[in-house]
Structure 1
Amino acid sequence: MTKLMLMAFLSVMICPYSESRDEGEEPVLPPLHLNCTQAYLGRMFSTEEATTQLLKEAVETLVQVRDTLNEVNTKIRGSTDMKPDGAACQPPFTQVGELCLLLALQEQHTWVAARQFCAGYGADLAHFSDANTFAAVLGYVNTINFQRKNINIWIGGTDEAVEDTWLWVTGELMPRGPPFWGTADGYALQPNAGTSQNCAVLWKADYYYMHDLPCTHKCAPLCQK
């Protein structure tokens, strides 16, 4: 407001004046020219209105950007509870990376019976093909087995159809070597038991690295949806 008053004063000072004065008479202040003052004031108020409108539009744009970012963040947070296909992991399953897993430590089944147990939940034995997912699975297993019970865990891998051709229950080739498979006696790389051991297990004594076992052993099922 002070700035407007100063500008008005300056506009008055530079406005031409048309009032006549007696010759030789020194004016104290130049007389006001009404039309000139009104014109300058009109321009100033028009400029202020335009600036106010621009600020209003800028604020509205920022509000829209804020609302859009909030919506995106909400969707991102919500996606952490969803499988990639959009189906939520419902209890008793838990989201583990991109997998929905259920480890039933209280259950002890043969490999075939473990698959049947998982099928009762609309699932199958767990499978994975990259080291990051395997690490996430191991983290989940150790979280569930916080009491460190000596329980081995079935996963969905077998070479029963063709010896030493290890396949997941999905028909995909299983990864071989470290960091997936463990060792026996500290040096013999798993799997190593030939036709006598055709099913894959997370072996507790080897920190849950993969081993081959006879499919008739009884272990806890790790189910995946």
Structure 2
Amino acid sequence: MALLAVVALLVSVLTFCEADCPDGFSKHGGSCYKAVRIKATWAESDVYCHSAGADLATIETAEEQHYLEGHLSAIAGAFDPPQFWIGGEDFAEEGTWVWLKSKTPISAQSYSNWIGGGSSLPITFDENCLMVTRDSGYKWEDNNCDDHYFFICEKDAYADLGIIIG
């Protein structure tokens, strides 16, 4: 009987602690994503994401890219046109792209999905912010940061551990 009680307690604790996402966010792996139906500049998008406890999305693997492509394709009809800011920028040095959240150079990761293939974007002096669009097959492309587009927020999936008594 005691063993049954312990097993039941473990199952309930594991279920209770399972990572989840807040309303409006979709879970993939250890992250939660939200495509926001507000058009904003890149900087405004970043502020909005921070207000939700998130950051502009960082795409570090092919699996993450594939998930976002599928997710954005499925909801594209709600966004006209389906164009989204993500969290890459090259403000510090033209052509040296970094992820805003981690300040990690995109060239340092093994995965990239630049428009036109290749290992980086061409240098465009007035386009310092990264975006994805349905028309480009959700490839990464630079654009003018003051343009208004929808955007994707990403936050870590969280576990609500509740209150432990005892």
1:92 aligns to what SS in structure 2?
coil
Q: Distance between the aligned counterparts of 1:148 and 1:111, measured in 2?
A: 17
Q: Distance between the aligned counterparts of 1:173 and 1:189, measured in 2?
A: 12
Distance 1:182 1:77, change over 3 A: farther
Q: Distance between the aligned counterparts of 2:73 and 2:12, measured in 1?
A: 31
Residues 40-59 of structure 1, C-alpha deviation per residue, up to 9 Å, x if partnerless?
Answer: xxxxxxxxxxxxxxxxxxxx
Q: What corresponds to 1:195 in structure 2?
A: 125
Q: What corresponds to 1:102 in structure 2?
A: 34
1:137 aligns with 2:76: no
1:142 aligns to what SS in structure 2?
helix
Is this contact kept in 1: 2:60–2:112, CA < 8 A?
A: no
Is this contact kept in 2: 1:150–1:205, CA < 8 A?
A: no
- Runs of 4+ in structure 1 displaced over 6 angstroms? none
Q: What corresponds to 1:125 in structure 2?
A: 56
Q: Distance between the aligned counterparts of 2:16 and 2:122, measured in 1?
A: 44
**Where do 1:12-161 residues align within 5 Å?**
68=7, 71=10, 75=14, 79=18, 82=19, 88-104=20-36, 106-146=37-77, 149-161=80-92
Cα deviation, residue 219, structure 1 = 0.8
Higher strand share: 2
Cα deviation, residue 217, structure 1 = 1.3
Identity percentage of aligned residues: 23
User: Highest relative contact order (Cα 8 Å, sep 6+), 1 or 2?
Assistant: 2
1:163 aligns with 2:94: yes
Output the aligned Cα RMSD.
3.0
Q: What corresponds to 2:152 in structure 1?
A: 222
Structure 1 runs not aligned, ≥5 long: 1-59, 83-87
Q: Normalized against structure 2, the TM-score is what?
A: 0.75
Q: Distance between the aligned counterparts of 1:223 and 1:160, measured in 2?
A: 20
Structure 2 runs not aligned, ≥5 long: 156-166
Distance 1:195 1:135, change over 3 A: same
Q: Distance between the aligned counterparts of 1:103 and 1:89, measured in 2?
A: 14
Is this contact kept in 2: 1:114–1:154, CA < 8 A?
A: yes
Q: Normalized against structure 1, the TM-score is what?
A: 0.57
Cα deviation, residue 114, structure 1 = 0.8
